[in-house]
Structure 1
Amino acid sequence: MGAPPPALRNKGRYVLLALALTAGLWTWRERAPQLPDPQTMVPELQNVQASGRGEAAPGCLGNAPAALPAPPPPLPLSGRLGLWVAEIDPATLRPLRAVAQDPDGVFPLASTYKQAVLWAVLRQVDAGTLKPAERFDVTQANQSLGDYPYDGSNVRELTVRMMRDSDNTATDILHRRVGLSRVQTLADELGLCRTRLILPTKAWWVAQTGLSSVLAPGTPGGARWSAATGEERLRLASALDADAQKQRADVLQQRLNAYFDAGSDPRDDLRVHNLSTPYEFATLLAHASLRPGLSPGARAWQREVAALGYGRAALRPGAAQVTGFAGKGGNGWRLLTYSGTFRTGDGRHVVYAFMQHGAAETYTMPNTRRAFAWINAGIAAVLGEPDPGPDSG
């Protein structure tokens, strides 16, 4: 992928890491942290199955259906790993064939959650509550980390920046404009009980650095947050986001640098980030791609902008042609995510979700080739084609 863009260098302490990258230390590693059992990290999000029978709890989709084990990663990957790759029935959206590793494990989503923001935005455009020509200014309150759009950007321009450039400020402006709960509703309507999509980017970083007391451990809000749903979750998220908007982006950047320098705890990621499982997020993407419930105009907008996210050039599904691609990647401190959907030349529909948490590498973008080597191996297994193997580059 070449050198990481400045916006990605400037999350957490990526400004410092960029110095190492320019010196050619792309393969530098630290000792991997010892990760706690995910069941102890977010127990409420894990507990969506009725005991004994494997049935879903009321209102929840439940665990992933039976799938073959994912092939071993062709190139080594550290930390907790999750993968779901499936060919889906375009009529029922159910998996026809799938391979998986830890498909029901809960992982931070990072910027892949922006795919849900795009869907929520277009639903509001269709509802008439958001006009494509509406324009927004960047303020101290709404500016998040990394690069940011010029003042006066309209809704369409912000969706492009969100997907193509992974612009956090563009994302937060759109997320707040449609309403925090409307992005979360996309998951709730599908019964994705392990999926949290309610927080703008600036809000989760403010929570992680302790700049807000709303979700602090030991407080009433912090104790209820993981299990909160509905109005309680919205109330806590809104209070946290109000605190986030009081913080300057440069101050937040400094606090993140200090937080990571002091040694981060992977449990913090699962406490404050937007979350999902490989299976649940793939389910959301399947619906967004094949059954979004959008008007023809909004559908065309979705197809064009969703295709700008990263992943199309990295897919190597054997002899199958990749068409109708929609995807996104995300990275953070010791975490990396890639997910998307596409259609093959012979009309098969494929969805994939890769998640890495607690990696040995602090800056994870150089793991992209390794991630897609594994994704492509999974796609080959699902489609019954020869494994293309990792790129030689």
Structure 2
Amino acid sequence: MRRFGTTLTLLALLSLAGLLTACQHGGSHSAQSGATQSGDVISLRREVSPPQAQVLGDLAARGADGCLLGAPPVPKAPPPPLPLTGTLGLWVAEVDPATLQPLRAVGTNPDSAFPLASTYKQAVLWAVLRAVDAGTLKPSERFDVTRDNQSLGSYPFDGSSVRTLAERMIRNSDNTATDILHRRVGLPAVQNVADDLGLCRTRLIMPTRDWWVMQAGLSRTFSGTGRWAAATGGDRERLALLIDADARAYRADYLQRRLDEYFDRRYDPALDLITHNVSTPYEFGTLVASEFLRSGLSGTSQRWQRQVMALGYGKSALKLTHRGGAAYFGGKGGNGWRLLTYSGYVETTDGRHLVYAFMQRNAAQTYTMPNTRRAFAWINAGIQAVLDAPETPAGASPAAP
């Protein structure tokens, strides 16, 4: 069982595209019932109480600090059709393509914080295309894999273009491709994807290798300060750059060994929320809706974004696809030690726009990939509940969860 930690780490945060066969070997674990659905929330900003009369249509409601308020009151998502363990979160909404306001939605723990794992990588793609539009990054620019930028898992060949790295990042969930692009546009540029939307509980600033260096106890900056977990703005940016410098000092194989030791001997689930990029189901659902319907990108970059995001995992797992009800799909998944995440955007053949964000942490299974069928059973149930629900009129308060 000692090598099981290595297998998990190498697969950690990879999307399921091209990896479903891995569920058939490597020690599958059966899911158990009794999921914890209490929403213990980690605050990444000062709390802003939502107004008493907040309604479903008020997606854009923000506090005095410019932060998006918590999820509006919506019906609770149906229970998972198949057992899922750990703390669970789900947000499924049909959104107005012009205003991005939710027309119908269901949620479970929509304001609880979860590690994003590789689901965050779509924000890197968005930041990359912003840089392309701004003229600060050329699509033809090419990159080599070096000791300095190699992360865990497989990695691209030398001389890969921006487009090749972007496709590997979404289709294969390649961590090295992600880190190369993330650092090329700048750590703050990816965080700005969330900050520009007022998603103050969403952290996107850290490349993949940085998470593991912090968990493995190899970052002097992280270990030497207690400020990181609650840091925001300029303080978070300064600390992130220092942690990233710490991370780049280690070879990937050495980090792998130290990370195996951490998972095998001293894993602390509380560190997941501190070291990973994080969000809430509601905030990340808002990001996904904005990403596809109000990206601010040029027409060329929008087409590029949709083509690349269509390579992400999820389309084959949606019932809408099997019934011929999906005209377009773009999505991303991620997994890690006791973590699993999925998000997606669907345009239906009858012109409806759906977003979903599924999140799981503290699962009973250390290797969570086999939970995919159970996760999508719940996602599909949430989508069906939204499709079947009447539209909530503006100003009307739907049933509380």
Is this a same-fold pair by TM over 0.5? yes
Structure 1 residue identity aligned to 2:80: P
Structure 2 residue identity aligned to 1:10: L
In the TM superposition, what is the alpha-carbon distance from 1:127 to its structure 2 partner?
0.4
SS, match of residue 96 in structure 1 = strand
Q: Is the 8 A contact 2:143 2:159 kept in 1?
A: yes
In the TM superposition, what is the alpha-carbon distance from 1:326 to its structure 2 partner?
0.9
1:311 matched residue in structure 2: 314
The runs of 4+ residues in structure 1 deviating greater than 4 Å are: 6-9, 11-14, 20-25, 28-37, 51-55
SS, match of residue 226 in structure 1 = helix
Q: Is the 8 A contact 1:341 1:351 kept in 2?
A: yes
In the TM superposition, what is the alpha-carbon distance from 1:90 to its structure 2 partner?
0.4
Q: Is the 8 A contact 2:33 2:84 kept in 1?
A: no
Q: Give the alignment of 1:179-190 within 5 angstroms.
A: 179-190=186-197
Please give the alpha-carbon distance, in whole angstroms, between the structure 2 residues aligned to 1:350 and 1:132. Answer: 30
2:371 matched residue in structure 1: 367
Aligned positions, number: 368
Query: Residues 37, 209 of structure 1: CA spacing in aligned structure 2 closer, same or farther, 3 A cutoff?
Result: farther
In the TM superposition, what is the alpha-carbon distance from 1:294 to its structure 2 partner?
0.9
> Is residue 85 of structure 1 aligned with residue 92 of structure 2?
yes
Q: Deviations over 1:97-131 (max 9, x none)?
A: 00100000000000000010000000100000000
In the TM superposition, what is the alpha-carbon distance from 1:26 to its structure 2 partner?
2.0
1:139 matched residue in structure 2: 146
In the TM superposition, what is the alpha-carbon distance from 1:37 to its structure 2 partner?
7.4
Please give the alpha-carbon distance, in whole angstroms, between the structure 2 residues aligned to 1:161 and 1:261. Answer: 29
Q: Is the 8 A contact 1:33 1:358 kept in 2?
A: no
1:342 matched residue in structure 2: 346
Please give the alpha-carbon distance, in whole angstroms, between the structure 2 residues aligned to 1:24 and 1:110. Answer: 20
Q: Deviations over 1:341-379 (max 9, x none)?
A: 010000000000000000000000000000000000000
Q: Give the alignment of 1:267-306 within 5 angstroms.
A: 267-306=270-309
Structure 2 residue identity aligned to 1:138: V
Please give the alpha-carbon distance, in whole angstroms, between the structure 1 residues aligned to 2:336 and 2:81. Answer: 23
2:398 matched residue in structure 1: none
Query: Residues 93, 36 of structure 1: CA spacing in aligned structure 2 closer, same or farther, 3 A cutoff?
Result: closer
Q: Is the 8 A contact 1:112 1:330 kept in 2?
A: yes
Please give the alpha-carbon distance, in whole angstroms, between the structure 2 residues aligned to 1:268 and 1:288. Answer: 29
RMSD across aligned C-alpha pairs, in angstroms?
2.6
Structure 2 residue identity aligned to 1:296: G
Structure 2 unaligned segments of length 5 or more: list them.
Answer: 1-5, 15-21, 55-61, 390-401
1:389 matched residue in structure 2: none
Q: Which deviates more from structure 2 when the two are superposed, residues 314-323 or residues 302-311?
A: 314-323
SS, match of residue 10 in structure 1 = helix
1:122 matched residue in structure 2: 129
Structure 1 unaligned segments of length 5 or more: list them.
Answer: 1-5, 15-19, 386-393
SS, match of residue 214 in structure 1 = helix
Q: Give the alignment of 1:1-393 within 5 angstroms.
A: 10-11=10-11, 25-28=27-30, 38-39=40-41, 42=42, 44-45=43-44, 47-50=46-49, 56=63, 58-216=65-223, 219=224, 221=225, 223-317=226-320, 319=323, 321-384=325-388
Please give the alpha-carbon distance, in whole angstroms, between the structure 2 residues aligned to 1:97 and 1:13. Answer: 30
Q: Is the 8 A contact 1:104 1:278 kept in 2?
A: yes
Q: Is the 8 A contact 2:12 2:335 kept in 1?
A: no
Please give the alpha-carbon distance, in whole angstroms, between the structure 2 residues aligned to 1:170 and 1:196. Answer: 20
Please give the alpha-carbon distance, in whole angstroms, between the structure 1 residues aligned to 2:244 and 2:301. Answer: 28
Query: Residues 33, 25 of structure 1: CA spacing in aligned structure 2 closer, same or farther, 3 A cutoff?
Result: same
In the TM superposition, what is the alpha-carbon distance from 1:51 to its structure 2 partner?
8.0
Please give the alpha-carbon distance, in whole angstroms, between the structure 2 residues aligned to 1:118 and 1:7. Answer: 27
1:3 matched residue in structure 2: none
Q: Which deviates more from structure 2 when the two are superposed, residues 295-304 or residues 97-106?
A: 295-304
Q: Which deviates more from structure 2 when the two are superposed, residues 173-182 or residues 263-272?
A: 263-272
In the TM superposition, what is the alpha-carbon distance from 1:9 to its structure 2 partner?
6.3
Structure 1 residue identity aligned to 2:231: A
Please give the alpha-carbon distance, in whole angstroms, between the structure 1 residues aligned to 2:38 and 2:94. Answer: 32
Query: Residues 9, 193 of structure 1: CA spacing in aligned structure 2 closer, same or farther, 3 A cutoff?
Result: closer
In the TM superposition, what is the alpha-carbon distance from 1:46 to its structure 2 partner?
6.6
Structure 2 residue identity aligned to 1:140: R
Q: Is the 8 A contact 1:12 1:260 kept in 2?
A: no
Q: Deviations over 1:49-78 (max 9, x none)?
A: 238858735211010012111001000000
In the TM superposition, what is the alpha-carbon distance from 1:84 to its structure 2 partner?
0.1
Q: Which deviates more from structure 2 when the two are superposed, residues 313-322 or residues 332-341?
A: 313-322
Query: Residues 171, 99 of structure 1: CA spacing in aligned structure 2 closer, same or farther, 3 A cutoff?
Result: same
Query: Residues 224, 377 of structure 1: CA spacing in aligned structure 2 closer, same or farther, 3 A cutoff?
Result: same
SS, match of residue 150 in structure 1 = coil
Q: Is the 8 A contact 1:50 1:57 kept in 2?
A: no
Identity of aligned residues (%): 61
Structure 2 residue identity aligned to 1:336: L
SS, match of residue 330 in structure 1 = strand
Structure 2 residue identity aligned to 1:27: H
In the TM superposition, what is the alpha-carbon distance from 1:227 to its structure 2 partner?
2.1
